[in-house]
Structure 1
Amino acid sequence: MGDKKNYSIKEIARIADVSPATVSRVMNKTTYVDDDKKSRVLAAIEQTSYVPNKVARSLFKKSSNIIGFIVPNSANPFFTEIGRYMEQVAFERGYHVIFCNSSDDLDKENEYARNLISMNTDGIVLITNNTKARQEITVPVITIDREFEYENDFLSVSSDHYLGGKLAVEHLYQKGCRRIAYVGGIDRLSSAALRHRAYMDFCKEHGLENITIDCQFDFNDGLEKTEYLLEHYSEIDGIIAANDIVALAVYKVLRRHEIDVPKQVKLIGYDNIRESSRVTPALTTIAQPIQEIAEITANNIIDIIEGKEIEFRKVVLSVKLIERETT
Structure 2
Amino acid sequence: MASIREVAKMANVSPATVSRVINGTAKVDEQKKQRVLEAIDETGFKPNELARALFKKSSKIIGMIVPNIENPFFNELARVIEKEAYENGYRILLCNSDDNEEKELMNIQMLNQLKADGIIIMTNSSRTAQEVEKYDFPVVLVDRKFSSDKEMAVVEADNYKGGRMATEHLIKCGCKSIVCMRGPQSLSSAKQRYLGYRDICKEYGLNEQYIECDYSYESGLKQTKELIKKYPDVDGIIASNDMVAISVYKVVSKKGYRVPEDIQIIGFDNISFSWLSTPEITTIAQPIKKMGKKAAQIIIQHKKGEEIEKENVFDVKLIQRQTTKIKG
**TM-score of the aligned structures, taking structure 1 as reference length:** 0.95
Indicate yes or no: 2:253 matched with 1:250. Answer: no
**Conservation of the 8 A alpha-carbon contact between 1:132 and 1:149:** no
Give the aligned partner of residue 207 of structure 1. 205
Indicate yes or no: 2:187 matched with 1:189. Answer: yes
For structure 2, the residue ranges without an aligned partner over 5 or more in a row are none
Give the aligned partner of residue 131 of structure 2. 135
The Cα RMSD (Å) is: 1.4
**Conservation of the 8 A alpha-carbon contact between 2:67 and 2:99:** yes
For structure 1, the residue ranges without an aligned partner over 5 or more in a row are 1-5
Q: Deviations over 1:131-172 (max 9, x none)?
A: 355223412111111111444311111110011111111111
Give the aligned partner of residue 78 of structure 1. 73
Give the aligned partner of residue 317 of structure 2. 320
Of 80, 84, 100, the match for 2:95: 100
Give the aligned partner of residue 58 of structure 1. 53
**Conservation of the 8 A alpha-carbon contact between 2:143 and 2:189:** yes
Q: Name the SS of the counterpart of 1:165 in structure 2.
A: helix
Q: How does 1:169-184 map to 2 (within 5 A)?
A: 169-184=167-182
Q: How does 1:27-38 map to 2 (within 5 A)?
A: 27-38=22-33
Q: How does 1:117-136 map to 2 (within 5 A)?
A: 117-131=112-126, 134-136=130-132
Tell me the distance in 2 between the aligned counterparts of 1:106 and 1:162.
27
How many percent identity over aligned positions? Answer: 46
Q: Deviations over 1:77-122 (max 9, x none)?
A: 1111111111111111111111111111112111111111122222
Shift of 1:231: 1.0
Q: How many residues align?
A: 321
Indicate yes or no: 2:21 matched with 1:21. Answer: no
Runs of 4+ more than 6 Å apart:
none
**Conservation of the 8 A alpha-carbon contact between 1:184 and 1:217:** no
**TM-score of the aligned structures, taking structure 2 as reference length:** 0.94
Indicate yes or no: 2:263 matched with 1:268. Answer: no
Q: Name the SS of the counterpart of 2:131 in structure 1.
A: coil
Tell me the distance in 2 between the aligned counterparts of 1:178 and 1:243.
21
Shift of 1:218: 0.7
Q: Name the SS of the counterpart of 2:249 in structure 1.
A: helix
Give the aligned partner of residue 163 of structure 2. 165
**Conservation of the 8 A alpha-carbon contact between 2:23 and 2:52:** no
Indicate yes or no: 2:297 matched with 1:299. Answer: yes
Shift of 1:29: 2.5
Tell me the distance in 1 between the aligned counterparts of 2:229 and 2:269.
27
Q: Name the SS of the counterpart of 2:63 in structure 1.
A: strand
Tell me the distance in 2 between the aligned counterparts of 1:89 and 1:150.
27
**Conservation of the 8 A alpha-carbon contact between 1:236 and 1:265:** yes
Q: Which amino acid aligns with 2:314?
A: L
Tell me the distance in 1 between the aligned counterparts of 2:73 and 2:262.
29
After superposing the two structures, state which structure 1 stretch, 208-217 or 13-22, moved more: 13-22
Shift of 1:186: 5.2
Q: Deviations over 1:23-68 (max 9, x none)?
A: 2222222332232112111111111122211122223323211111
